[in-house]
Amino acid sequence: AQTVTQSQPEMSVQEAETVTLSCTYDTSENNYYLFWYKQPPSRQMILVIRQEAYKQQNATENRFSVNFQKAAKSFSLKISDSQLGDTAMYFCAFMKLLNTGNQFYFGTGTSLTVIP
């Protein structure tokens, strides 16, 4: 079975600083996808960034980037120039590819607070 572990239940960062959220996963699959989702107080789930396991290059989306270490099964999220609007729960997710569809596994989340 696949598991996703986020070992930091809560984190805080000063506005404009950089923060890294950790995520590790366990799988025997070779091809899969990884995601970071943001859930602000509104509870809306928003995709932050995604990484295909077959790609060696780390994904980047503006201020958000990942450090994908496939051998170590690690997928951390770096937020640069943190903004107040980044305050939210962040969930790491693993997508297993099936012949017919996809299965998703989510971590328990990291609550990030950006301090003005």
Q: Return residues touching other proteins (CB under 8 A).
A: 33, 43-47, 50, 91, 93, 97-98, 100-109
Q: In angstroms, rounded to a whole number, what is the distance separating the alpha carbons of residues 57 and 109?
A: 25
Would you state the structure tokens that stand for residue 32, as one six-digit string? 């899969």
Using the minimum distance from each CB to other proteins, give the nearer residue, 69 or 102: 102
Using the minimum distance from each CB to other proteins, give the nearer residue, 77 or 93: 93
Residue 92 burial (CB < 10 Å; 0-12/13-18/19+)? buried
Would you state the structure tokens that stand for residue 43, as one six-digit string? 């509870």
Question: Least distance from C-beta 15 to other proteins, angstroms?
Answer: 26
- Please state whether beta strands 110-115 and 10-14 pair in parallel, antiparallel, or not at all (unpaired): parallel
Using the minimum distance from each CB to other proteins, give the nearer residue, 28 or 43: 43
Question: Least distance from C-beta 28 to other proteins, angstroms?
Answer: 18
Question: Least distance from C-beta 58 to other proteins, angstroms?
Answer: 18
